[in-house]
Structure 1
Amino acid sequence: MKSEATPLLRLEQIGFAYADGQPVLHGIDLQLAAGQFHCLLGRSGCGKTSLLKLAAGLLLPSSGRVLWHGEPVRGPLREVAFVFQRPTLLDWLSVLDNVLLPISLKQRVTQADRELAQHWLQRLGLAEQAQRRPSQLSGGQQSRVAVARAWMQQPALLCMDEPFAALDALTREELQQDLLAVCAEQGSTVLFVTHDLSEAAFLGDQVSLLDRGRLQAQLQVGAERPRSAHWRDADSFHAQCARLRRQLERTR
């Protein structure tokens, strides 16, 4: 996934506070180039999710500005899809209809829409589950449905808030691998929140470390793409994880 020179998204001196005045983020400078996979890494409560919502236009900053293609963001961005910590599926709808939800909320679903939804279910190994209800799926399958639903929007930016955190380690690694494969096919731009060192090292082109609402460091992951599952066993992968750990420990 190659990055272009002009940032797709830029955050300039972002500050954010809750309505009661409690500060959450301070002086955040961040930019994201098209085609980049950028991870936000930090401990729970450090402001990662708030920063992700600011990037998507779901929150507005208390100070500073968010720029999309150089233009100020004043509300939710239509070109952005969001995958939450929980799949947030509607159990009275089939898997297929859950994937189609971003379309059906705005307009009449066409045959082309259904074919695209079937494509994403097939791509993520869910073709045989299309008519099931979400409650009939495993946690990993539900997460795949949530990702398929996001791809239905054909987003310019995919924002993901610890989408695999509740899954077992093996399922999480499988989904990480599938996510990278689809991103490579689509040339996708991703902003991904995690508190998992190995997840950030495996997925990210760049990793931003947050602590107590401040951006402490931005690190490039020195690994070529595509990244196979075998890279997890390589010394270079363990070195990247150790590097991230050292940086996080400096923030204590």
Structure 2
Amino acid sequence: MRGIAKVVLALVALALVIYIVPRGVRAIGGATNVTPAASETFTPINGSIAVTAGNIYEFNLTTTDKTYRWVGLWGNITGTINLRAASNDFYTWSFGTITADSVLYATTDPTGVDPTNFNITNNTHLDQADTAYGYAGTVTDRIENTYTSSGTFQSPSMETGITVNTTTLQSATWTNYFLRKTNGNIATTNDIVWAVEINPNQAAFDGTTYADYEILLPENEEVGDGEGVVTTYYLWLELN
């Protein structure tokens, strides 16, 4: 049985809006507000050692710490395709299971996305993205250290694919893509689009629930920088 759609958030709640990008059409479809489900996280456990004066101890450590630079979203997608006027439907097509290779996009830019304008990315653009999100080039979980692979991205409305930076999540099912909105340099987070190809009804990261997507998104909660500032991502869906 398919599980209930969830949103996994680290430290803050995201304001989410989801849109549909009609295939081959640049105009954006209707918007639906999405209410996130309960977030999940973990609390790191401290280790200890009992010591006695006069002794020298070899004490090798392994740590599992919690990131404050990323959030994860995952869940299922259902919806409709509508032929409609401003407020009245002429005809509605419902889908209970979304088609494979549809694409979910996330960006902090509320003005929308146009897949035909997407451009290649490389390590220079990853450095620019780290700067845009306020991440130093020395932190372990920066963007450059996360999108360490490359691959071809081609959405349903793109005639040819482009080479971009990618990362594969722990579930090994969903590849995430790092995209530029245009051919310019990345100056702000609005210049970036994060994407994942939909793979319906697959085992999610927890190993028990089934989901249609998982996507990893930057969210800066660094002390003295982004701490306490809510990030709003706008989600756009391009159906295959």
Q: TM-score scaled to structure 2, two decimals?
A: 0.27
Q: From the CA coordinates, give the structure whose radius of gyration is larger.
A: 2
- Please state which structure has a larger fraction of its residues in strand: 2
What TM-score comes out, normalization by structure 1 length? 0.26
Higher helix share: 1
